[in-house]
Amino acid sequence: MTTSPSFQQTPSIPFELRQSPIQGQGAFATRRIRKGARIIEYIGERITQAQADARYDDESMERHHTFLFNLDDDTVLDAGTLHNESRYINHSCEPNCQSLIDKGHIHIYALRAIEPGEELTYDYAYERTPEMDADAESLYVCRCGTPSCRGTILAPEKKAPARRKKATRKAKAPSKSKAASKSKSTSKAKSASKSKPAPAAAKKKRGTQRAKSPGRGRRAAS
């Protein structure tokens, strides 16, 4: 267990910290964790995006080792200073946990039932930037060792949307009687829509919210 003065111990967590085959210390379940259970809050010093950029420079590091987590467009949690046990939950490309934003806080939830002794992991999904080359990507190497490991803790590359094929067959021209009836029904529908009052704006649901896209060198809540 860490003895750092900036460490805040969390009571009654269902895991312990010990050496991980993935990297450094990891979090290992001490009892069965049910699917969907909220395990721990990810805490950190709340700083701005600009402060995070000034504090950490990924390109000058030999190995990526920051603990930044994007909370919203303006706020970043830095667990490199203030932190708890959640800081030691490692990345995996086949995670058994996920991170979600809930009312301005980041929590780690179980994606499935986790048995005692299993290491807790979630997908860090660091943002990819256009200027990244092979050397830059080497800072974000993944060591999870799972069958579907993508080799990096960076988010999967987005695939270009498939182009929709245009129909080659031309539709037959409708008969005059059908065309006339279609025209009448359309005009009725239009007039009905004009008289119908606009629906009230939908209320935003409270509770769990997914994170917005992360900044450079930040984790994203999935």
CATH, residue 76? 2.170.270.10
pLDDT of 32 > 70? The answer is yes
pLDDT of 156 > 80? The answer is yes
Q: Which of 17, 19, 155, 34 is CA-nearest to residue 86?
A: 17
- pTM comes to 0.71
Q: Does 78 reside within a domain?
A: yes
Mean pLDDT of the chain: 77
Q: Does 193 reside within a domain?
A: no
Note down the domain range covering 66.
Answer: 15-158
**Model pLDDT, residue 202:** 32
Strands 38-42 and 15-19: unpaired
Q: Average the pLDDT over 1-26 and give the result.
A: 89
How many domains is the chain built from?
1
Q: Does 28 reside within a domain?
A: yes
pLDDT of 129 > 80? The answer is no
Task: Kindly indicate the confidence band of residue 221, based on its pLDDT and cuts at 50, 70 and 90.
Answer: confident
CA atoms within 13 Å, Cβ hemisphere of 12 = 1
Q: Does 8 reside within a domain?
A: no
In contact, 149 and 95? CB cutoff 8 Å: no
Q: Does 219 reside within a domain?
A: no
Where is average pLDDT lowest: 67-81, 143-157, 184-198?
184-198
State pLDDT tens for residues 87-104: 999 999 999 999 999 899
State pLDDT tens for residues 175-206: 444 443 433 343 333 333 333 333 333 333 33
Collapsing DSSP to helix, strand or coil, 49 comes out as helix
Structure tokens at 94: 């086949």
Q: Does 184 reside within a domain?
A: no
Q: Does 180 reside within a domain?
A: no
